[in-house]
Amino acid sequence: MNSAVLLSPSDVVVIRRYVQTKYAPLPSARQAEIVADAIRGTIERRLPDLKPEIKAHVTKELIRRCLVSEGRDVIPEDVLEVCSEIRIEEPKDLDRLYDWLEARESGRWTREQIASLVNRGSRKLASLGEEHALTAVAEPLQPEWGSLAPAAPSDKSASLSVPWWHWRRSTLWGALSAALIAGVILWTIPEIYGSNGDTAIEAAPPQSAVAEAARADASGMPVELRYMDFEREPVLAYLHGRDSLLAQEPYFTAIIESAREFDVNPLLLLAITGQEQGFVPRTHKQAKEIANNPFNVFHSWQEYNTDIRDSSRIAAKTIAKRGGSTPEGEDAIEWINRKYAEDMAWSTGVRQLFAKLTELSQARSDQEAVQ
């Protein structure tokens, strides 16, 4: 998958299959809700840091256009297209949009081009007036509603006599959201809709459905590469001895949290940072930038530079999915190597560092056991 892709149809399939297996006892409506929420949440987390209402609208449009209507990857150009159709007035939001696009597809757009596109969309909406602007933004959704959304109830209340474009703005967006989610659900998991019309809602486990999907793929991961607690003090001492910036916060904790989320051994993630960036020595003149992506996800820290929480989640998810598909008889780290790095010696370095970190942690535990 292209490194700039936000979400692909294959990702949706992974989520769908996992939910169908993990939450098989739940009613179909609840399963669908979990899938839709996972898709929405995944895209929204990968968008630029815009206002919540803007991110919510962009997310819905990306799902409708890319996944539902066209069945293709969601890419940065799609985000720019949607943003060019809505009102973005804050200069800081334009800056964030530009920085986000630049991080994913460097040099493709200039600040002036992005500002021109977004301002053109804002002027178009302003010329329509607020109520008609909302109608214009929502109108492309209507063709999908008839074929994808469940049929409306037959009884009509007095409120239905009011034209839909006169609804309060919050009601309008709520309706758009419900219809869009219904469309996504019916497209992504049509086989879970039975004929019994079961709509009961039951409580589901609170874990992130996306993380759970990756965890399901990790079912074949060797136990030593799956998440486990470890003695932090000797590992931190080793990192300090390497003058590693990753021994500091927020880096160290972020790596552990991402490892826990995707059921990957945190020492394996740390070993990868050692192989990729020598644990990021603090003396390096660009240490802080490198520490944002010490895993070199999406090719390198120069090409993809967000923050440690984001890059560690991507690395952990990649390792979980790849490691979980290791064929019988294959070495898991070597199997991961084929996906993660071009250098076939990468696995040797990672294995040695992983063994060293594991030894340090276990040595502390063994000493305490003797005492």
Q: Does residue 294 lie within any of the structural domains?
A: yes
Q: Is it the case that residue 351 has pLDDT exceeding 70?
A: yes
Residues 338 and 333: their CA atoms lie apart, in Å, by 9
**Distance of alpha carbon 258 from alpha carbon 310, whole angstroms:** 9
Supply the pLDDT for residue 220: 66
pLDDT in tens, 297-320: 888 899 889 999 999 999 999 899
54 falls in which pLDDT band (50, 70, 90)? confident
Question: Would 257 be classed as within a structural domain?
Answer: yes
Who wins on pLDDT, 189 or 222? 222
Q: What is the pLDDT of residues 1-38, one digit of tens each?
A: 455 788 888 888 888 888 888 788 888 888 888 888 88
Are 240 and 184 in a shared domain? Answer: no
Give the containing element (helix H, strand E) for 233. helix 232-241
Rounded Cα–Cα distance for residues 201 and 195 (Å): 17
Kindly report whether the peptide bond that precedes residue 250 is cis, defined as omega within 30 degrees of 0.
yes
Same-domain pairing of 160 and 51: yes
Is the domain of 175 the same as that of 276? no
| In-domain check, residue 250 | yes
> Between 280 and 89, where is the model more confident?
280
pLDDT at 267 over 80: yes
Determine the Cα angle at 41 with ends 38 and 42, to 5°: 85
| Average pLDDT over every residue of 91-110 | 84
Domain tally, the chain: 2
Range 257-279 average pLDDT: 95
Confidence of residue 344 (pLDDT cuts 50, 70, 90): confident
For residues 365 and 333, state if they share a domain: yes
∠ CA 151-154-156, nearest 5°, is 120
The CATH number covering residue 355 comes to 1.10.530
Sign of the CA dihedral 21, 148, 68, 62?
Answer: negative
Long-range contacts of 107-112 (CB under 8 A, 24+ apart): 109/80
Q: Does 325 fall in a domain?
A: yes
Note whether residue 232 is domain-resident: yes
Q: Are residues 217 and 79 in the same domain?
A: no
pLDDT over 90, % of the chain: 28
Condensed to tens digits (0 to 9), the pLDDT of residues 176-187 reads 444 445 444 433
Does residue 2 lie in a domain region? Answer: no
142, 163, 192 - which closes a domain: 192
Position 352 confidence tier, pLDDT thresholds 50, 70, 90: very high
Share above pLDDT 70 across residues of the chain, in percent, rounded to a whole number = 69
Does the pLDDT value for residue 50 go beyond 50?
yes
Domain-ending residue, one of 134, 158, 192: 192
Are 179 and 304 part of one and the same domain?
Answer: no
112 within some domain: yes
Whether residues 293 and 222 fall in one domain: yes
> Which pLDDT value is given to residue 364?
52
Query: Is the pLDDT higher at 166 or at 243?
Result: 243
Kindly state the tokens that stand for 190: 């049509």
Q: Is the pTM of this model over 0.75?
A: no
Confidence of residue 363 (pLDDT cuts 50, 70, 90): low
- Do 40 and 168 share a domain, yes or no? yes
* 262 and 161 in a common domain: no
DSSP-assigned beta bridge partners for residue 244: 281
Distance, CA of 369 to CA of 179 (rounded, Å) = 58
Query: pLDDT averaged over the chain?
Result: 74
185 and 217 part of one domain: no
Q: Is the pLDDT of residue 348 over 90?
A: yes
Residues, the chain: 371
163 or 2, greater pLDDT: 2
Amino acid 81: pLDDT: 87
Same domain? 285 vs 250: yes
Q: Which region holds residue 308: left if phi is over 0, alpha if psi is between -120 and 50, else beta?
A: alpha
Picking from 352, 368, 364, the residue whose alpha carbon sits closest to that of residue 232 is 364
* Residue-number span of the structural domain to which 231 is assigned: 209-370
The answer to whether the CB of 87 falls within 8 A of the CB of 14 is no
Residue 68 pLDDT exceeds 50 = yes
Mean pLDDT value across residues 42-69: 88
pLDDT of res. 311: 93
245 shares a domain with 162: no
Q: How far is CA 86 from each of CA 9, 57, 131, 280, rounded to the nearest angstrom?
A: 26, 9, 13, 41
- Give the pLDDT confidence score for residue 235 in this predicted structure: 96
pLDDT exceeds cutoff 50 at 216: no
3: in domain:
no
For residue 120, the model assigns a pLDDT of 57
Looking at residue 273, what is its pLDDT? Answer: 97
